[in-house]
Structure 1
Amino acid sequence: MTPAERRDLILRLAPREPAGLPSLRTIERIRKWRTVLMLLCALALIPWTVYLGMTLPSHYVARNWVATWVGFDILLLTMLVLTALAGWKRKQLVFPTAFATGVLLICDAWFDTMTSHRGADLTQALLSAFLVELPLAFILIAGPLRLLRYVAIRHGMISPKSHLWRMPIPDLYPGQKMPPDHP
């Protein structure tokens, strides 16, 4: 059976109104407002970043330094364990946990490098970043994204020639039109 035939069969066998899904109008409204929210946050972050760049001191003694780093590492440890468990049990939870863990590793590498002193401390931070944290972050982010693509191909949702950055979100209500207020 070709991917197109498999997708057609899935669509014919799927219930018309899957239980637990919001209406098409609700999905579109949520998508629109989340997009607006992200754009507003991005716009607000531009002047805030410029302000911080101009006003923050180049040297600052931080309170709760140990609690901050230990807490961050506990969060990172928790996410690594959740990702390992989700992967081991073959659960879809591996997608968000692996992605979030990869982002946390990138943040860890950045802050370790930026806050280390020149000399051996900086060398250790750079070696840790380039030999451990960043490669592991790449594996944790790229791996589940590739797996997501394979799942979509396997279920006939996309062509095997499709690239991840062009992969659309599957239509939850095939054959139905967008609400009238949709641009």
Structure 2
Amino acid sequence: MQLTDEEIAAMTPAERRALILRLVPRPGGLPSRRTIDRIRKWRTVLIMVCVAVLVPWTVYLALTLPDHYVARNWGATWVGFDILLLTMLVLTAIGGWKRKQFVFPSAFASGVLLLCDAWVDVMTSQRGDDLTQALLSAVLVELPLAFVLIAGPLRLLRYLAVRHGVIQADTHFWRMPIPIPDLYSDHQVPPTP
């Protein structure tokens, strides 16, 4: 049986998603659903432990760190950071140019590194011209570029999820499920978030 374009267009979004799930072959070599759930659980626990440790550590630092500190390897620290940022930006440019999926993590990481760069530049600048230059650089270059580098891949991921029938077009980004293989039986329609 072959469906016509008109028959597909007449389907509801849920019926189209169910059809897509039935037509997409199950890739081999993937972990079982039980293994995926176990990995997800332990990674979530690990992150929660990190959060639980980081909160008191941050309070401790806020109460005990001096206002002024002379740092070792100041030049090497910043040059190393800029080399890391440059590497991530180059990877992002290559990934975008060649339309490769590694553009998602490299662009996101580049954006986060730019946010960190702007924060540290502004917070460690001396008052006067140094602080003015850091603020202008942050507001006019680093923060807008970080927004583009972080928001772009997130929008593209959402577009791909809509395009491949994982979510409906009106689903908010924060409600997007992760499409886990074998999550649904062959004839079951995924729930609408």
**TM-score (normalised: structure 2):** 0.86
Measure, in 1, the Cα distance between the counterparts of 2:181 and 2:47. Answer: 23
Whether 1:148 and 2:131 are equivalent positions in the alignment is: no
Measure, in 2, the Cα distance between the counterparts of 1:89 and 1:6. Answer: 30
Identity of paired residues, percent? Answer: 75
Where do residues 119-138 of structure 1 align in structure 2 (5 Å cutoff)?
A: 119-138=128-147
Match of 1:54 among 55, 60, 63: 63
Give the RMSD, CA atoms, in angstroms: 1.3
Measure, in 2, the Cα distance between the counterparts of 1:115 and 1:149. Answer: 37
Match of 2:38 among 26, 29, 37: 29
Measure, in 2, the Cα distance between the counterparts of 1:51 and 1:83. Answer: 37
Partner in structure 1 of residue 23 of structure 2: 13
Partner in structure 2 of residue 93 of structure 1: 102
Measure, in 2, the Cα distance between the counterparts of 1:13 and 1:110. Answer: 48
List, as ranges, runs of 4+ consecutive aligned residues in structure 1 with deviation greater than 3 Å.
2-6
Count of residues in Structure 1 that have an aligned counterpart in Structure 2: 175
Partner in structure 1 of residue 52 of structure 2: 43
SS in structure 2 at match of 1:153: helix
Partner in structure 1 of residue 148 of structure 2: 139
Q: Taking structure 1 as reference, are residues 55 and 26 closer, same or farther at Cα in structure 2, changes over 3 Å only?
A: same
C-alpha contact 1:99 1:140 (8 A) present in aligned 2: yes
Match of 1:108 among 102, 117, 127: 117
Whether 1:172 and 2:181 are equivalent positions in the alignment is: yes
**TM-score (normalised: structure 1):** 0.91
> What's the offset of the Cα at 1:6?
4.0
Whether 1:80 and 2:89 are equivalent positions in the alignment is: yes
Measure, in 2, the Cα distance between the counterparts of 1:104 and 1:20. Answer: 34
